Amino acid sequence: MSSQKAQYAHLLPPSWKTRVTAWLDEDTPSFDYGGYVVGEVEREAYLLGKGSDPNSVLAGVPFVNEIFAQLDCSVEWHMEEGETFKPIKHVATVRGKARQLLLGERVALNLLARCSGIATKSRRFRDIAQSNGYKGVIAGTRKTTPGFRLVEKYGMIVGGIDAHRHDLSSMVMLKDNHVWSTGSIRGAIETARQVSGFTLLIEVEVGSEEEADEAIDAGADIVMLDNLEGEQLYGVARRLKERWAGKRKFLIETSGGIDEGNLKERAVNEIDILSTSAVHQSVQHIDFSLKIQVPK
């Protein structure tokens, strides 16, 4: 019995295609003056990957497919999503009426540039950490662009890292404001557990070893060590694991200030999860262009 190859596109929820419609509506809210010029003659266009990174990762394929599908165009890909390419690479051929090709051009290129940029940066972070012997998880954050989170989280996954929680409903994360508003770490955890049930993990942000002990004792699944760095961070993580071995199961996460320059020193196996917004905020986009071909 042959097994079907898993595709990233199969992660997407039923509602995602309506977002593509909204993107197209935003870009052409009234008259299409350029479309009037070119008309509806059938044309073929080459989608070219031009990013300066020699290990650019292609990501965003299902979104581009849907953009052009809604414009009655077809896309033929010449490489698999998640593969790397060196510029300039003919990554796909798009066919359809000239007016329709140009209606989808900028929406598709912008999306592909952002999603591929995130995937490329994510892949680089993963590879650096793994080459350093890190066995834990590299993850993004929830600091994503409003309305564009699905694309950005998708890029992280294609790049090979963990997308972290997708929204407030997918995991309970109790930060300092939750604890201060409740009065104690234990009180915040116990209150959350009343409604979250057994299916949701509870993560608690702590600022000291003592707070971490309180969170673990109260049943936190993950403790995020905040405002701790270097040997202090690793020492606290090491002692927590030794002290609670055989008593509680939990993971240790750290975040904040993690970038390519310090990733090797931060990627130590005392830490289970390294989360960083550097893989999706201020990321260098991968440049693409769409060129309609002159009929032969």
Determine contact, residues 122/161, Cβ cutoff 8 Å. Answer: yes
**Tokens representing residue 282 in the block:** 């201020």
What's the first-to-final CA gap in the chain, in angstroms? 46
Helix ranges, 183-229 (H): 185-196, 209-217
In this structure, the number of other CB atoms found within 10 A of the CB of residue 239 comes to 14
As a whole number of angstroms, the distance between CA 117 and CA 279 comes to 9
Indicate the pairing of strand 89-97 with strand 202-206.
Answer: unpaired
**Amino acid identity, residue 4?**
Q
Cα-based distances in Å from 248 to 24, 220, 237, 240, 252: 51, 9, 14, 10, 12
Catalytic positions are 143
CB burial of residue 137 (10 Å; 0-12, 13-18, 19+):
middle
**Which residue intervals of the chain are DSSP H helices?**
17-27, 33-38, 61-69, 98-131, 149-159, 176-182, 185-196, 209-217, 230-244, 263-266
Strand partners, 97: 42
d(CA 239, CA 284): 39
d(CA 217, CA 158) in angstroms, rounded, equals 36
